[in-house]
Amino acid sequence: MRPGWLDRIWPLLPVLAALAFTSVLLLLFKASPVVAFSAMLEGAFGSSERILNVIAFWIPLLLCAAGLLITFQAGLWNIGIEGQIILGSIGATWVALSLELAAPLQITLEILAAMAGGALWAGIAGWLKTRGGVHEIFGGLALNNLAIILTNYLISGPWQPPEGGSFRGTVPFGEHALLPLFDGSRFSPLALILAGTAFSIVMIALRNSTWGLKLKALGRNSRSAFLLGVSSNREAVLAMMFCGALAGLGGAVRVLSWFDSLRQSISGGIGYLALLVVMLAAYRVLWVPFVAFFFSAVLNGAIVLQLRTQLHSSLGDILTGVMVLFVLLLGDPIRLRGLRRAKDDG
Amino acid sequence: MRVELQNIRKHFGEVRANDDISLIFEPGKIYGLLGENGAGKSTLMKILSGFQKPDGGKIILDGKARRFDSPADALAAGVGMLYQEPLDMPPFLVLENYLLGQRRGFAVNARQAAKDLRELGKKYGFDIQPEEHIRDLSLGERQQLELLRLLAGGAQLLILDEPTTGISTEQKVLLFDSMRKLAKDEGKTLILVSHKLDEVQDLCSQVFVLRKGKLVGEAKLPCPNELLVNLMFEKLPPRRERASREQKQVALELKDAVVATPRLELQPLNLTVYAGEVFGLAGLEGSGQEILLKACAGLLPIRSGSMQLGHQPLDQLDYHAARAGGISYMAAGRVEEGLVAGLTLTEHMALVDQEAGFFVDWAGSRARTKERVQHFQVVGTSESTVEQLSGGNQQRFLFAMLPSSLKLILLEHPTRGLDIRSTDWIWQQLDERRKDGTAILFISADLDEVVERSDRIAVFSGGRMSRVVDAAKTNAEELGHLIGGEQ
């Protein structure tokens, strides 16, 4: 079936609805929506440094969203992605603090450790689901908390800086351990290349690989998929681990370029944001990079908004949050079409 | 309570599940309601107990016409139904479950309720412990609890749907004693929905027989079983002549195989199916034939005894290994268990492609789909999603996906809901398969189909498989007795 006009303009509907809703909210607080939104726009794209910031924030978000496309395809709610990012950061930090090698080798090992950490954490959630019958949402949330506790333990214990535990973070890593940055910004071209590659792999896996087809069947009807010969448990765990590896890579990007050390709340909520991104994109692969970029722009713009006006930067969170609420409220276009068809038949 | 049903009608699409049924149940008596699969007895009882709404007709309780919006509504009016699978909450305590669904105030006096429950249980000889977990109870005990819950809720009419399937002999005796007590001493009205003739004869004073949605007869009990069997089952159409089997190679052999689900444990099974044979399994739904089929498919473990495919032992087989070994299983729910809604025919074909590499061979899969769609006369295109197909075409497509060489095909209700053309076509396909030595083991609720299509037949009743009968020599009467649990 060819997508209709509704499908094509779909992501714009909740965006416009959310802008309208937030405008009304601003007016109620006697603030000007025009001033607020132009300050956000200015904050996101007002200078080359700001644009680079938006891109730098976008990269790990895109990595996570790409991974989530895989788990959503398999019908899994990988809410444990936050913990998987954190484990990725921890993996990268472990290599950064314990080895001193030439930069290319050092960075390669950091990235591999990060992906392994994320995959491990996701694998545990997948194993709990398939072996123990623990729903991935609950397993994932528990593992998220464990990951936060683990970070706090590490930065206040074994990895605390020599000047004493402040609960803030490890010592900054050496130059050789960090991703090469563009012109003193937080943007790393290497990270962009990695994210682009990962996204392409996901796209190909979903469209053309046998594995992607198995995940699609699994996500739509796990019982039938099993009866048609898909090893449901194995594929579910693999999907989780694949997503975990990408989230771990995102975590590496966070510690090795956005920051320069492992810190508290290292993920910055990117995992949850990525869930919202994929939902707003209605699980369409090609929309994901754009929606993720839009989110990055809104959230970075909101920081400047606070400096410029008397409005709090949480306006950005409100805007994205309301957008997702509108997505859930309006339902995704596939369901809408289903309803229409049911009505026609009925 | 005197219960009167007047001209009850209920249609599901073309099917007349209840076609103008009028009945009267007097207080203080136990009635039997008999009929084969799909005769309409469950539908009628669901309507009476508020679970479904009739399309037409009246329910009159003690002279007053009533309408029920829910089972709770019906219970408040004094109608309680005990379902085959008790409607309880496995994680709950016995006491919690008992309190649930009772219309009392906000505050719950747990201690008083526990005392009431114990006393009520004692009255009927049930050993009920309020602090036990539902999930630790046997099916019979859950049934006792459900019965007490209905009685405490004020039920004057009790409907029991196949209550003896899956419970022990002692529990059955206890249940029947309590039923007699309820009718005789307390003047309640009881309806026993059953297909077990002995039980109906033993317990009931009068029986109504339904067939194809209509009331076809009634009788005072006891009466000869023959009379009931003749009412329940129509005469079978004459069986067409067909080629006899020549091969005598064993395709599937079960020896003292024990298979069980939490709901039903089958009596040890001994069964031999020959290559090229069509073996039919009859019996009321839920009598155990589905469990046998699932065990053969590797979906349920065999606890003891042995199973062999040809000369190859299959005891510890999982489903995917069984598939690879030449066993195909087709479940009754086509879109629930077999096809994936939202996936196209080509995607299905690619999914079952045994030579699939890392990348999907889309061009090859599409070509294969087009060829099979044409060959199997599926009305649809390679890009249709399966839910766009009609039931008959879904079934055709499931056949189109079967591998070319198979040792055993297991089918659950292969022609359910299909028109005559599709039904004939499917049996043609299966006959073709027989010529290659594929054995076919199938379940059907349609007795005519079982007799018409099988070489040999076995009947399931309450978890026990009957003797094996030759389809060419049997008749509706013999099968009726076997379905009724006689040996």
What confidence tier does B245 reach under pLDDT thresholds 50, 70, 90?
low
The pLDDT value given to residue A3: 52
Query: In Å, how far is A230's CA from the nearest CA of chain B?
Result: 8
- Tell me the H-state helices in chain A: 5-9, 12-28, 33-45, 48-73, 81-98, 103-132, 136-156, 189-208, 210-220, 222-227, 232-253, 270-280, 288-308, 314-330, 333-345
Which amino acid makes up residue B463? G
What confidence tier does A339 reach under pLDDT thresholds 50, 70, 90?
very low
Residue B412 near residue A227 (C-beta atoms within 8 A): no
CB B336 to CB A224 under 8 A? yes
Which residue does chain B place closest to A229, by CA atoms? Answer: B320
CB B360 to CB A214 under 8 A? no
CB A231 to CB B320 under 8 A? yes
The mean pLDDT of B399-404, rounded to a whole number, is 89
Which residue does chain B place closest to A341, by CA atoms? Answer: B388
Q: Which of A213, A220, A231 sits opposite B350 (nearest CB)?
A: A213
What are the chain A neighbours of B326 within 8 Å (beta carbons)? none
CB A225 to CB B331 under 8 A? no
Count the domains in chain A. 1
- Return d(Cα B289, Cα A242) in angstroms, integer: 42
Q: Among B199-203, B245-249, B296-300, B337-341, name the one with the lowest average pLDDT.
A: B245-249
The pLDDT value given to residue A164: 65
What are the chain B neighbours of A211 within 8 Å (beta carbons)? 358
Residue A36 CB coordination number (10 Å): 23
Residue B402 near residue B348 (C-beta atoms within 8 A): no
Tokens of B241: 């002549």
The pLDDT value given to residue A234: 94
Beta bridge partners of B313: B308
Q: Which of A199, A179, A177, A175 is nearest to A187 (CA)?
A: A179
- For the cut 80, the answer to whether the pLDDT of residue B235 exceeds it is no
Residue A43 domain-assigned?
yes
CB A230 to CB B351 under 8 A? yes
DSSP strand pairing (B3-12 vs B15-25) = antiparallel
What confidence tier does B31 reach under pLDDT thresholds 50, 70, 90?
very high
Residue A164 CB coordination number (10 Å): 7
Query: In Å, how far is B168's CA from the nearest CA of chain A?
Result: 31
The pLDDT value given to residue A127: 96
- Return d(Cα B307, Cα B313) in angstroms, integer: 6
Rounded (5°) CA angle B238-B242-B248: 130
- Return d(Cα B136, Cα B44) in angstroms, integer: 32
Alpha-carbon A43 to chain mean position? 22
CB B340 to CB A224 under 8 A? yes
The pLDDT value given to residue A77: 94
Q: Which of B405, B404, B431, B399 is nearest to B418 (CA)?
A: B399
- For the cut 50, the answer to whether the pLDDT of residue A343 exceeds it is no
- For the cut 70, the answer to whether the pLDDT of residue A199 exceeds it is yes
Torsion angles phi and psi, residue B465, rounded to 5: -95, 135
What confidence tier does A342 reach under pLDDT thresholds 50, 70, 90?
very low
What are the chain B neighbours of A217 within 8 Å (beta carbons)? 340, 343, 347, 351
- By residue count, chain A amounts to 346
Burial code (b: 16+ CB inside 10 Å, e: under 16) for A228-251 equals: bbbbbbebbbbbbbbbbbbbbbbb
- Return d(Cα B260, Cα B291) in angstroms, integer: 7
Q: Among A150-164, A223-237, A328-342, B203-217, name the one with the lowest average pLDDT.
A: A328-342
Longest dimension (CA), chain B: 75
Which residue does chain A place closest to B299, by CA atoms? Answer: A227
Q: Cis ω on the peptide bond leading into residue B163 (within 30° of 0)?
A: no
- Return d(Cα A85, Cα B430) in angstroms, integer: 54
- For the cut 60, the answer to whether the pLDDT of residue A345 exceeds it is no
Query: In Å, how far is B289's CA from the nearest CA of chain A?
Result: 19
CB A226 to CB B342 under 8 A? no
DSSP A281-325: TTT-GGGHHHHHHHHHHHHHHHHHHHHHSSS-THHHHHHHHHHHH
ipTM of the complex as predicted = 0.84
Tokens of A131: 């072996």
Residue A341 domain-assigned?
no
What confidence tier does A37 reach under pLDDT thresholds 50, 70, 90?
confident
The secondary structure element, H or E, covering residue B198 is helix B197-203
Range of the domain at A246: 11-336
Residue B83 CB coordination number (10 Å): 20
Residue A343 domain-assigned?
no
Contacts with B, A 223-242, CB within 8 Å: 223-231
Residue A23 domain-assigned?
yes
Q: Which of A222, A198, A231 is nearest to A65 (CA)?
A: A198
- Return d(Cα A41, Cα A55) in angstroms, integer: 14
- For the cut 70, the answer to whether the pLDDT of residue B370 exceeds it is yes
Does the beta carbon of A17 lie under 8 angstroms from any beta carbon of chain B? no
Q: What is the pLDDT of residues A57-86, one digit of tens each?
A: 999 999 999 999 999 999 999 999 999 999
The pLDDT value given to residue A130: 93
Radius of gyration of chain B (CA): 25
Query: In Å, how far is B380's CA from the nearest CA of chain A?
Result: 13
The pLDDT value given to residue A323: 81
Residue A91 domain-assigned?
yes
Instruction: Decide which of B161 and A311 is more confident.
Output: B161
Query: In Å, how far is A16's CA from the nearest CA of chain B?
Result: 30
- Return d(Cα B4, Cα B189) in angstroms, integer: 12
CB B347 to CB A216 under 8 A? yes
- For the cut 70, the answer to whether the pLDDT of residue B84 exceeds it is yes
DSSP strand pairing (B214-220 vs B206-211) = antiparallel
Which amino acid makes up residue B481? H
- For the cut 70, the answer to whether the pLDDT of residue A1 exceeds it is no
Tokens of A204: 């190909």
The structural domains of chain B, ordered by start, are 3-232 (3.40.50.300), 250-483 (3.40.50.300)
Share of chain B above pLDDT 90, in %: 35
Share of chain A above pLDDT 90, in %: 59
CB pairs under 8 A between A and B: 64
Rounded (5°) CA angle B301-B306-B312: 100
The pLDDT value given to residue B354: 78
CB A226 to CB B319 under 8 A? yes
- Return d(Cα A39, Cα A31) in angstroms, integer: 12
The pLDDT value given to residue B459: 92
**Cβ contacts of B88 within 8 Å, gap of 6 or more:** B97, B134, B142, B145, B146
Does the beta carbon of A74 lie under 8 angstroms from any beta carbon of chain B? no
The secondary structure element, H or E, covering residue B391 is helix B391-400
DSSP conformation class of B49: T
Residue A346 domain-assigned?
no
DSSP strand pairing (B157-161 vs B189-193) = parallel
CB B342 to CB A228 under 8 A? no
Q: Which residues of B touch A (CB under 8 A)?
A: 319-320, 323, 329, 331, 335-343, 347-348, 350-353, 356-360, 362, 401
CB B319 to CB A208 under 8 A? no
Terminal-residue alpha carbon distance, chain B: 37
What confidence tier does B109 reach under pLDDT thresholds 50, 70, 90?
confident
CB A210 to CB B350 under 8 A? yes
- Return d(Cα A154, Cα B170) in angstroms, integer: 63
CB A210 to CB B359 under 8 A? yes
The pLDDT value given to residue B56: 92
Residue B61 near residue B2 (C-beta atoms within 8 A): yes
Looking at every residue in chain A, the average pLDDT score rounds to 88
The mean pLDDT of B314-324, rounded to a whole number, is 83
CB B347 to CB A213 under 8 A? yes
Residue A59 domain-assigned?
yes
Query: In Å, how far is A231's CA from the nearest CA of chain B?
Result: 8
- For the cut 90, the answer to whether the pLDDT of residue B62 exceeds it is yes
Alpha carbon separation from B135 to B97, B141, B263 (Å, rounded)? 11, 11, 12
Q: Report helix, strand or coil for B130.
A: coil
Query: In Å, how far is B470's CA from the nearest CA of chain A?
Result: 32
- For the cut 80, the answer to whether the pLDDT of residue B89 exceeds it is no
Does the beta carbon of A216 lie under 8 angstroms from any beta carbon of chain B? yes
CB B360 to CB A217 under 8 A? no
The mean pLDDT of A113-133, rounded to a whole number, is 96
- Return d(Cα B141, Cα B123) in angstroms, integer: 15
Torsion angles phi and psi, residue B209, rounded to 5: -115, 130
Q: Which of B136, B97, B103 is nearest to B117 (CA)?
A: B97
Residue A308 near residue A46 (C-beta atoms within 8 A): no
CB B343 to CB A209 under 8 A? no
- Return d(Cα B48, Cα B74) in angstroms, integer: 8
- Return d(Cα B322, Cα B329) in angstroms, integer: 9
Q: Which of B116, B94, B123 is nearest to B181 (CA)?
A: B123
The pLDDT value given to residue A335: 53
DSSP conformation class of A77: -
CATH number of the domain to which A110 belongs: 1.10.3470
**Cβ contacts of B21 within 8 Å, gap of 6 or more:** B5, B7, B8, B9, B40, B44, B57, B210, B213, B214, B215
Tokens of A329: 């409220």
Instruction: Name the burial class of residue B122, with classes exposed (0-12), middle (13-18) and buried (19+) by CB atoms within 10 angstroms of its CB.
Output: exposed
Q: What is the pLDDT of residues B148-183, one digit of tens each?
A: 989 888 899 999 988 887 677 788 889 999 999 999
What confidence tier does A284 reach under pLDDT thresholds 50, 70, 90?
confident
Query: In Å, how far is A306's CA from the nearest CA of chain B?
Result: 46
Query: In Å, how far is B362's CA from the nearest CA of chain A?
Result: 8
Residue A109 domain-assigned?
yes
Torsion angles phi and psi, residue B44, rounded to 5: -60, -45
Alpha carbon separation from A100 to A73, A94, A104, A180, B458 (Å, rounded)? 40, 11, 11, 16, 75
Q: Among A29-33, A49-53, B88-92, B353-357, name the one with the lowest average pLDDT.
A: B88-92
Alpha carbon separation from A295 to A34, A254, B371 (Å, rounded)? 19, 17, 47
- For the cut 60, the answer to whether the pLDDT of residue B367 exceeds it is yes
